[in-house]
Amino acid sequence: MATIYKEFLLLVRDPGGMTLLFLMPLALVIVMALVQDAPFRDYQEIKLDVLFADLDHDSLGTRIQQAFHTSPNINLVENNDTAVVNDLVHSGEFKAAIILPADASKTLRQKSNRVINDVLVNAGLVAESPRPVELTGIRITILFDPVIKANYKQVLSAAIEKILTGIQAEWILDELQGQLSENKPGTKKIKPDLSGLITIDQTYASENAATELELNSVQHNVPAWTMFAMFFILYPLAGNYIKEREEGSLLRLRLISGSGLPVVTGKFAFYFGICLLQFVLMILVGIYVMPLIGLKALILGSNITGIIITACSVAIAATGYGTLIAVYFKTPQQALSFGSISVVILSAFGGVWVPVYVMPGVLQQISRFSPLNWGLESFNDLFLRDAETILILPNLLKLIIFGAVTLAASIFINKSRTVS
Amino acid sequence: MTNAIVQVDNITKQYRGSPQPAVSNLSLKINEGSVFGLLGPNGAGKSTLVMMMCGLLTPDNGSISLLGMNVKNKGAAIRKQVGVAPQEIALFPTLTAYENLFYFGRMYGLDAAVIKERIESYLTTFDLKEKANSRVQTFSGGMKRRLNLIAALLHQPKLIILDEPTSGVDVQSRNVILDFLVELAAKKTTIIYSSHLLTEAERICTHLAILDAGKLIVAGTPGQVMDATPGHENLEQVFLTLTGKNIRD
């Protein structure tokens, strides 16, 4: 307790340390959430203005425009001058353009007619009609700005394909009814509704689905940078420890107790508490400050016990690592350089900067060895998947073992340097 | 016959990679209530010997007992009765004098009330009472040195080991410290005093040992040491005769 109180006094009288521990991480999490808000929206909320050159001037063009009218992702802007369309996409003003060629409707009608005629002739229902020319399919061109993201291209191509498939089905059906009615006069054409044949329900595999959860910038950045800040505890921890060693106060403590154990464990306990305080502050920022700056509020899920255990496990791992760095290195320069760079590397592999699932396969494998990944995965499980504690237990055990091993190594190194 | 409070028997310590031992086959006896001056040039082995007495270094050979207990297996019990003031100002600069002393007192396992009382008493003795609530970083060298000494006295040890306790302090502060040490010795506290300052040693020490190159050159009362090398007027001349005039690094 004496060491914890002493550490408290040292910290509150160190404005630089206080800033590093509390203000900087809060600023970092807010800035990163704001900066990464747009890229995260890209993944889930693509909204694209697309030029549409209708050279067909017939029903197909109208049908395409009608279909895109209800699309949540694509907004068609009509411009029938292909040269202008080309320039606008080339200059990057528009990311894409759809060019519907002349006579597209006519060709599609003829193509549909031919297909249905072939089917009915084959079934012996109608006589074969003459085939004056061989018909080629219509070719719709989509122009892309070279800088367009791959997922934008994918979304646009898929949307056009889907719409054209629907139109094609409608026209084939219409043609089928037409040819059949020629055989059976008096039959009335109907317009069947094909839209409801297949419905796709999109929902998250989470008990929290009602809250419309998704991996947005806040849900990713708040836990990710909170852990980064918690691991950065090594900075004041190692800095103070080495300063005390250089100033001699650590020597006096060794002379009093005979070992560094009370000092190391006292520091560990204090900085463990600081880590938890950081966690609470940053979670509060996620919940209450993020909505004030136009971002979504952090959603925690319902497993509060799991969150507390995870925060404690991350704090144990972070403080253990910081203590090891503090004890192992002999100068502040070595400790702080190695410590901070190692945390940046571990955080990069751990998925703090970008989610692990967008990393290359090799990095995804490596990320499994980063303590920050164990923590982040646990938080994602809790926040997004509303996981039960048992599910995150393997990651929590890894964090606790990591913390215990680093603390034990710190005590061992400290002892071996105390008595030699 | 007085009791030996420190008994050093044939100890040797050689650091890894060093061509010769820092302390070589050294034996020493320090009696209760004496002020024992441990003198020697740089590299003589004084600090190594002190570190081994404190249990921070293990001798390669030989044994050390303090207060009748072997340092090797009774380190914790010994440390409770030994106070060490290292040469470094081993204090926390951003804590006040009071906070520093209170923390060290707690680390010695003393009760808060006892610590409070002793802090008050020692700060008065060393003329630091008015500065009790000032941060150590604002203190002069002499004030820090006095506080450094108090931190070693809080648990009222039977044996005090002082490494250059007056290094870098002004005449007034030095006088206060030396007078206090003489008073303490009169109360049967044993003091091991490691220093380069031979005039100080002459003033306060009841016994002396001169070390060089890890070996004990001479030991005894100041009179015995002077007699060992006749023809010299003061301790400094004896010291130079015994250890040579070559500069040591």
The mean pLDDT value for A360-376 works out to 87
Mutate one of B14, B57, B103, B160 to test the A interface: name it (highest A CB count within 10 A): B103
Lowest-pLDDT choice from A261-275, A329-343, B228-242: B228-242
Question: Encoding tokens for residue A221?
Answer: 């950045």
Q: Could you report the per-residue pLDDT of A232-277, keeping only the tens digit for each?
A: 888 888 888 888 888 878 778 877 765 667 777 888 889 999 999 9
Neighbours of B154 (CB within 10 A): 22
- Residue B176 is which amino acid? V
Pairing relation of β-strands B61-66 and B69-70? Answer: antiparallel
The mean pLDDT value for A345-355 works out to 85
pTM of this structure: 0.71
Question: Token match 């003091």: residue?
Answer: B191
Contacts of B229 (CB under 8 A, 6+ apart): B218, B238, B241, B242
Q: Which residues pair with A144 in a beta bridge?
A: A96
- Residue A57 is which amino acid? H
The mean pLDDT value for A165-172 works out to 82
pLDDT recorded at residue A133: 63
Work out the angle between the directed axes of helices B97-107 and B141-153 (0-180°, nearest 10).
20
- Signed CA dihedral, A385, A389, A391, A396: sign only: positive
Q: Which residues in chain A have Cβ-Cβ distances shorter than 8 Å to B107?
A: 2-3, 253, 256-257, 262
Q: Which residues in chain A have Cβ-Cβ distances shorter than 8 Å to B103?
A: 2-3, 5-6
Q: Does A254 touch chain B if contact means CB atoms closer than 8 Å?
A: yes
Is pLDDT at A210 greater than 50 in this prediction? no
pLDDT recorded at residue A44: 56
Going along chain B from its start, the domains and CATH numbers come out as 1-81+159-165+197-249 (3.40.50.300)
The mean pLDDT value for A21-29 works out to 84
Q: Which residue of B has its CA nearest to A10?
A: B94
B228/chain A closest Cα distance in angstroms: 35
| Pairs of CB atoms within 8 A across A/B | 72
B58 closest CB neighbour out of A247, A262, A419: A419
A419/chain B closest Cα distance in angstroms: 5
Q: What three-state secondary structure class fits A108? A: helix
Mean pLDDT over all residues of chain A?
82
Contacts of B154 (CB under 8 A, 6+ apart): B83, B101, B104, B105, B108, B110, B115, B118, B119, B122
Q: Could you report the per-residue pLDDT of B208-229, keeping only the tens digit for each?
A: 888 888 888 888 888 887 887 7
Q: Could you report the per-residue pLDDT of A107-147, keeping only the tens digit for each?
A: 888 888 888 888 878 877 777 766 666 667 788 888 888 77
Query: Cβ–Cβ of A247/B107 closer than 8 Å?
Result: no
Is pLDDT at A374 greater than 90 in this prediction? yes
* Burial grade of A200 (CB within 10 A; 0-12, 13-18, 19 or more): exposed
Look up residue A127 and give its DSSP letter. Answer: P
pLDDT recorded at residue A336: 87
Lowest-pLDDT choice from A35-49, A211-225, B208-222: A35-49
The mean pLDDT value for A175-181 works out to 78
- CA–CA gap between residue A62 and residue A272 (Å, rounded): 65
Is pLDDT at B174 greater than 90 in this prediction? no
Query: Cβ–Cβ of B57/A419 closer than 8 Å?
Result: yes
- CA–CA gap between residue A300 and residue A382 (Å, rounded): 7
Query: Cβ–Cβ of B56/A419 closer than 8 Å?
Result: yes
pLDDT recorded at residue A260: 63
Vertex A81, ends A162 and A86: CA angle to 5°? 70
Question: Pick from A360, A359, A394: which is nearest to A374 by CA?
Answer: A394
Question: Pick from A277, A291, A282, A274: which is nearest to A221 by CA?
Answer: A282
pLDDT recorded at residue A76: 86
- CA–CA gap between residue B153 and residue B141 (Å, rounded): 19
Q: Which residue of B has its CA nearest to A243?
A: B92
A256 closest CB neighbour out of B89, B91, B107: B107
Counting residues of chain B whose pLDDT is more than 90, the rounded percentage is 15
- Residue A396 is which amino acid? L
Contacts of A202 (CB under 8 A, 6+ apart): none
Mutate one of A10, A242, A255 to test the B interface: name it (highest B CB count within 10 A): A255
Q: Which residues in chain B have Cβ-Cβ distances shorter than 8 Å to A13?
A: 94-95, 135
Q: Which residues in chain A have Cβ-Cβ distances shorter than 8 Å to B87?
A: 248
